[in-house]
């Protein structure tokens, strides 16, 4: 039996996107927000603010706009890319 890995990845991403969109809608959030501060980025990814700091320090996530030196801002598309790159289920599918 031969599997089309790329098609499977695309299907998984579509399903995950639909589930996340539905869950955010239920919580009263929308996916229209394009830029997040540290606190909102952490909430969006479901992690702590200190974890966001760790990602920045280890060059796994870059703030798009450094703000006033204290506040950093992150684009939603960068947060989405980071989230997708770390999904263990995608790594298991590739093996």
For residue 71, give the CATH number of its domain: 1.10.1660.10
Please report which helix (H) or strand (E) contains residue 75, including its range: strand 73-75
Q: Model-level pTM greater than 0.85?
A: no
For 8, list phi and psi in degrees, rounded to 5. -65, -45
Tell me which residue range forms the domain holding 34.
Answer: 5-94
Total domain count, the chain: 1
76 close to 59: Cβ distance less than 8 angstroms: no
Rounded mean pLDDT, 7-24: 82
**How do residues 37-95 score in pLDDT, each as one tens digit?**
889 899 888 899 999 999 999 988 888 876 666 778 899 888 888 888 775 544 544 44
16 has a pLDDT exceeding 80: yes
């Amino acid at each position: 039996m031969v599997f089309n890995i790329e098609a499977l990845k695309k299907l998984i991403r579509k399903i995950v996107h639909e589930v996340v969109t539905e869950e955010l809608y239920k919580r009263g959030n929308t996916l229209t927000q394009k830029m997040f501060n540290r606190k909102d980025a952490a909430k969006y990814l479901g992690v702590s603010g200190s974890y966001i700091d760790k990602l920045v320090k280890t060059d796994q996530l870059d703030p798009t706009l450094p703000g006033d030196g204290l506040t950093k801002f992150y684009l939603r598309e960068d947060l989405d890319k980071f989230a997708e790159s770390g999904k263990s289920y995608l790594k298991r599918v590739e093996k």
